[in-house]
């Protein structure tokens, strides 16, 4: 289905209810509070309300999902999710706002909430089997030196590799300021990456942390280059504050592509079940990161 067909299908709220219901309750209605399987339907609100016949708990289709509390119509959310899951993924908040006819702030918030879902999904799947990890850099300066340039953001990029040497799952992680020295990634950084992102025990783990080292497993560096080009083309570059969520967005789609699966169906399911993130929490997590960066920069 292309975007025009998708828009024709999900043209109003009613068209979205069925899909959302199936993604939220794939085995039929189930009360989130008591587990009861029967509800009465109340249709007087913008969205239908399901009232549990046992405990009277009321839930709408977006209760407890990434869309909870949003006044944006469902079909606009659906279109945003479609565009974020699409392998072309050439949308940014300005384009999305114009495409689905919402304000820039609403478009930005929808995109970040969907990216948060992608980040959570990425975090749940660990690298395993034969694992290659390489140091990489986002925002490489024209004349790299031994010392880190302020526009360079060190990354650790890792992949699970199958017996034919192909990548089956990729992670790109921004190295936190406390794991960096003036000219590279500290051992604590690679230890942290392995602890957080690699299933243990893995016999085939290989970690390469030398900067600008063109030897080793090349597909990881090509992936990074692709991610950098995408961020440059679509967003005109990303600062350190938001870099990780954009890397997560890139990896989410990439990993489905590597498995020859559609990222769209799963993203709908996740958005219909994942817990919402508030604007305050979203901006707070970004603020905390930039504060840490500033503290590390002033300490260096
Ligand atoms: Zn109940």
Same domain, residue pair 134 and 36: no
Q: How far is the CA of 18 from the centre of ligand 1 (A)?
A: 21
- Spatial neighbors of 202 by CB under 8 A, at least 6 apart, are 127, 128, 129, 130, 131
Range of the domain at 50: 1-61
Q: How far is the CA of 110 from the centre of ligand 1 (A)?
A: 30
Q: Kindly report, residue by residue over 260-281, the tens digit of the pLDDT.
A: 988 888 898 889 886 655 556 5
pLDDT (0 to 100) of residue 236:
84
Burial 195-221 (b: 16+ CB within 10 A, else e): eebbeeeeeebebbbebeeeeebebbb
Q: How far is the CA of 112 from the centre of ligand 1 (A)?
A: 32
Collect the ranges in the chain with pLDDT lower than 70.
87-89, 141-147, 201, 211-216, 274-300
Q: Kindly report, residue by residue over 136-165, the tens digit of the pLDDT.
A: 888 876 666 666 777 788 999 999 999 898
pLDDT (0 to 100) of residue 97:
95
Burial of 5 (0-12, 13-18, 19+ CB in 10 A): exposed
Residue ranges near ligand 1 (ion) with Cβ within 5 Å: 31, 33-34, 36, 52, 54-55, 57
> Measuring CA to CA, how many Å separate 120 from each of 32, 96, 114?
21, 22, 10
Q: How far is the CA of 71 from the centre of ligand 1 (A)?
A: 25
Q: How far is the CA of 21 from the centre of ligand 1 (A)?
A: 17
Among 42, 61, 80, the domain-final residue is 61
Q: How far is the CA of 56 from the centre of ligand 1 (A)?
A: 6
Q: How, if at all, do strands 184-185 and 58-60 pair?
A: unpaired
Q: How far is the CA of 113 from the centre of ligand 1 (A)?
A: 28
Q: How many helices (H) and strands (E) does the chain have?
A: 10, 9
Among 10, 27, 61, the domain-final residue is 61
Domain assignment present for residue 122? The answer is no
Query: What is the domain count for the chain?
Result: 2
């Amino acid at each position: 289905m292309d975007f025009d067909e998708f828009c024709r299908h999900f043209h109003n709220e009613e068209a979205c209810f069925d899909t959302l219901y199936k993604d939220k309750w794939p085995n039929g209605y189930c009360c989130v509070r008591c587990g009861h399987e029967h509800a009465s339907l109340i249709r007087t609100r913008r969205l239908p309300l399901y009232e549990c016949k046992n405990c009277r708990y009321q839930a709408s289709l977006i209760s407890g999902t990434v869309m909870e509390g949003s006044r944006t119509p469902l079909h606009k959310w659906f279109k945003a999710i479609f565009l974020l899951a699409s392998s072309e993924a050439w949308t940014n908040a300005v384009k999305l706002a114009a495409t689905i006819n919402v304000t820039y702030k609403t478009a930005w918030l929808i995109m970040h909430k969907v990216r948060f879902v992608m980040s959570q999904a990425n975090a749940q799947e660990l690298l395993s089997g034969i694992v290659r990890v390489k140091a990489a850099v986002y925002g490489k300066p024209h004349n790299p030196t031994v010392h880190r340039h302020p526009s360079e953001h060190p990354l650790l990029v890792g992949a699970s590799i199958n017996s034919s040497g192909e990548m089956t799952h990729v992670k790109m992680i921004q190295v936190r300021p406390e794991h960096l020295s003036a000219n590279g990634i500290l051992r604590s950084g690679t230890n942290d990456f392995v602890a957080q992102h690699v299933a243990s025990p893995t016999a085939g783990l290989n970690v390469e942390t030398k900067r600008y080292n063109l030897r080793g497993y090349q597909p990881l560096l090509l992936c990074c280059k692709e991610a950098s080009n995408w961020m440059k083309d679509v967003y005109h570059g990303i600062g350190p504050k938001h870099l990780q969520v954009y890397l997560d967005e890139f990896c989410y789609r990439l990993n489905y592509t590597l498995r020859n699966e559609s990222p769209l169906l799963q993203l709908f399911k996740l958005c219909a079940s994942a817990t919402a993130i508030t604007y305050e929490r979203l901006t707070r997590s970004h603020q905390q990161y930039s504060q840490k960066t500033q503290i590390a920069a002033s300490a260096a």
